[in-house]
A and B are shown apart, each in its own frame.
Chain A
Amino acid sequence: MIELKNADPNFKWEIIKREGGEGLLKCFGCSDCAASCPVRYFDERYNPRKIIRLTLLGMKKEVLSSPFLWFCAHCHACTERCPQGIMVAEVINAIKNYAAEQDYCPEGYKMQLDLLNKLGRLYEIEDFDLRKREKLGLPPINKIISEVAKILEHTGIIERVHSKNAHANLKSETRNTNE
Chain B
Amino acid sequence: MKRYALFLGCTVPVRAQHYELSARNVAKELNIEFVEMDDASCCGFPIKAVDAETSLLIAARNISIASTMNLNIVTLCNSCTAMLSDAQKQLKHNEFYKKFKELGFSYPHDVVVKHFVRVLYEEIGLDVLKKAVKKPLNMLKVISHYGCHYMRPSQLHEFDNPEVPHTLDELVTVTGAQSVEYVDKKMCCGGSVLGIDEALAVTMANHKLHTAKNSNVDALISICPFCTVMYEDNQRKAEDKFETQYGIPVLYYPQLLGLSLGLDKNAVGIRFNRVKASALLEKVGVA
Contact = CB atoms under 8 A, between A and B. Distances in A.
Contacts, number: 162
Q: How large is the interface on B (under 10, 10 to 19, 20 to 34, 35 or more residues)?
A: 35 or more
Given A112-B47, A154-B103, A136 B196 contact: no
Contacts of A151: 54, 57-58, 61, 103
Contacts of A152: 54
Contacts of A93: 48-49, 52
Interface in A88-140: 89-90, 93-94, 96-97, 100, 105-106, 108-109, 112-113, 116, 120-123, 125, 129, 132-133, 136-139
Nearest to B49: A96
A122 B9 CA distance: 9
Contact of B39 (A109, A138, A145): A145
A160 B51 CA distance: 10
B15 interface: yes
Interface residues of A, number: 57
Given A73-B148, A74-B192, A145-B40, A121 B155 contact: no
10 contacts: A19-B52, A19-B56, A71-B197, A71-B200, A73-B193, A90-B52, A113-B50, A116-B58, A129-B14, A136-B21
Given A123-B14, A151-B61, A155-B53, 18 more contacts: A39-B204, A42-B203, A43-B197, A73-B191, A74-B48, A76-B152, A79-B153, A97-B52, A108-B196, A113-B50, A116-B58, A120-B42, A123-B10, A138-B24, A142-B39, A148-B42, A151-B54, A155-B51
Interface of A: 18-20, 38-39, 42-43, 70-77, 79-80, 87, 89-90, 93-94, 96-97, 100, 105-106, 108-109, 112-113, 116, 120-123, 125, 129, 132-133, 136-139, 141-142, 145, 147-148, 150-152, 154-155, 157, 160-161
